[in-house]
């Protein structure tokens, strides 16, 4: 298995830290330790500058984005032969990311088992290929609806539902998340996972959730987090992320764009979609302002260096990654601060 760039980068950062400790506690020159701190500081300043440049250069693209653009880009990606099913999309990822991809569904489905058992009608808002929608209808035996902007994903979702011969028929609807064609108060629960970040106006999506939930309705939401560690061993970045949990203004600006690869102002790609990253404070306030009471707040997919080592040493063996990374994730999820530093924020809220 080829060693990933992020593993090389994190290893180099860790090596700088080890050199710092070696000089500080054994060699005692102080010069090498000072150079190590200088390297960390240089890399941190570079990271901040790149973030600012990305944000500045993406501004025009983002401001001109329309719903038609988003729909066109989504459909174009789904038409790709290597990207036209959830299985193929998973295989496009590195083994570690593939584990997290599947784990994300399992986490959401676990929350559905816990918080949606008393619900009768559940909307999977932005359902994609319908994996959670089928779980709602088949495993939970609830009335599940799926809404998705990309009609090609719904073609696959309907085909898969038919192939599996599920006992319940699933209504899949093609439409905009911010204005779904349902009556107010239609649902007891809304599943809104990895969708909010793709909306031109994310708050309009939360407004829709509020409108289409009944009183005491349950909202399950996951979004990309700006508090995530991104496999960094740079102490300045780690401190920044920790401080951001209480004061998100310390974070650098984010570009809010995504294509096949992460947005880079030096190598602009021809087509981009919206891809916001959110802070805990932003989601807290947005839910509170819309009359929701948060009953669970957490994060998952902790991007830490040991995971990269496990991926490398196991040569990408998904069973080994699942065993060890999954176990470490469960342990770290119990630690108050650490559990909020994952790549994705996850919330369960109730409409008051």
Domain boundaries of the chain, sorted by first residue: 5-351
For residue range 287-333, list pLDDT tens digits in order: 999 999 999 999 999 999 999 999 999 999 999 999 999 999 999 98
Tokens encoding 230: 């991104």
Percent of the chain past pLDDT 90, that is, above it, reads 81
Residue from 95, 50, 5, 23 nearest 254 by CA:
50
For residue range 234-251, list pLDDT tens digits in order: 999 999 999 999 999 999
For residue range 120-160, list pLDDT tens digits in order: 999 999 999 999 999 999 999 999 999 999 999 999 999 99
Q: Can you list the pairs that 41-47 forms with residues at least 24 positions away whose Cβ atoms lie under 8 Å? A: 41/236, 43/13, 43/234, 43/236, 44/234, 44/236, 44/237, 44/240, 47/234, 47/237, 47/252
Number of Cβ atoms within 10 Å of the Cβ of 42: 10
CA distance 152 to 178: 19
> Parallel, antiparallel, or unpaired for β 121-125 and 143-148?
parallel
b/e code 240-278 from CB counts within 10 Å (16+ = b): bbbebbeeeeebeebbbbbbeeebbeeeeeeebbbbbbb
Q: Which 8-state DSSP code applies to residue 336?
A: T
Q: Please, what is the average pLDDT of the chain?
A: 93
Q: Is the pLDDT of residue 58 over 80?
A: yes
Q: What is the mean pLDDT of residues 99-103?
A: 94
CATH architecture for segment(s) 5-351: 3-Layer(aba) Sandwich (3.40)
The pLDDT, as a whole number, for residue 291 is: 95
pTM of structure: 0.92
Residues 6 or more apart whose CB falls under 8 angstroms from that of 295 comprise: 115, 348, 349, 350
For residue range 158-171, list pLDDT tens digits in order: 999 999 888 788 99
Q: pLDDT-derived band of residue 1, with 50, 70 and 90 as boundaries? A: low
The pLDDT, as a whole number, for residue 45 is: 98
Query: Of 72-86, 109-123, 287-301, where does mean pLDDT reach its minimum?
Result: 72-86
Radius of gyration of the chain (CA): 21
Q: What is the dihedral of CA 231, 258, 101, 293, to 10 degrees?
A: 90
The answer to whether 192 and 125 have CB atoms below 8 angstroms apart is yes
The pLDDT, as a whole number, for residue 29 is: 82
- Counting DSSP H helices and E strands in the chain, the numbers are 12, 9
């Amino acid at each position: 298995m080829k060693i990933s760039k992020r593993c090389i980068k994190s290893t180099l950062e860790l090596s700088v830290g080890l050199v710092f400790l070696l000089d500080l506690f054994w060699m005692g020159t102080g010069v090498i330790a000072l150079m190590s701190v200088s390297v960390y500081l240089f890399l941190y300043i570079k990271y901040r500058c790149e973030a600012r440049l990305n944000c500045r250069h993406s501004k025009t693209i983002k401001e001109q984005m329309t719903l038609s653009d988003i729909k066109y880009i989504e459909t174009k990606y789904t038409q790709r032969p290597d990207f036209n099913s959830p299985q193929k999309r998973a295989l496009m990822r590195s083994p570690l990311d593939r584990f997290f991809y599947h784990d994300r569904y399992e986490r959401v489905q676990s929350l559905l088992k816990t918080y949606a058992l008393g619900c009768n009608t559940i909307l999977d808002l932005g359902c994609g290929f319908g994996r959670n929608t089928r779980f709602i209808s088949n495993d939970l035996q609830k009335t599940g609806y799926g809404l998705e902007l990309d009609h090609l994903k719904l073609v696959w979702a309907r085909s898969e539902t038919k192939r599996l011969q599920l006992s319940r028929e699933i209504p899949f609807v093609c439409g905009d998340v911010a204005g779904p064609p349902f009556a107010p108060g239609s649902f007891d629960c809304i599943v809104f996972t990895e969708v909010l970040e793709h909306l031109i106006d994310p708050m309009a999506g939360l407004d829709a959730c509020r409108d289409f939930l009944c009183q005491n309705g349950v909202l399950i939401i996951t979004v990309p987090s700006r508090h995530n560690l991104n496999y960094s061993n740079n102490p300045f970045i780690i401190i920044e992320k920790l401080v951001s949990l209480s004061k998100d203004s310390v974070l650098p600006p984010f570009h809010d764009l995504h294509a096949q690869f992460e947005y880079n102002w030096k190598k602009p790609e021809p087509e981009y979609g919206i891809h916001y990253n959110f802070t805990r404070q932003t989601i807290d306030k947005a839910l509170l302002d819309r009359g929701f009471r948060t009953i669970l707040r957490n994060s998952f997919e902790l991007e830490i260096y040991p995971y990269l080592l496990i991926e490398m040493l196991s040569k990408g063996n998904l069973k080994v990654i699942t065993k060890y990374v999954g176990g470490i994730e469960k342990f770290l999820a119990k630690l108050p601060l650490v559990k909020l530093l994952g790549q994705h924020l996850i919330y369960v809220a109730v409409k008051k």
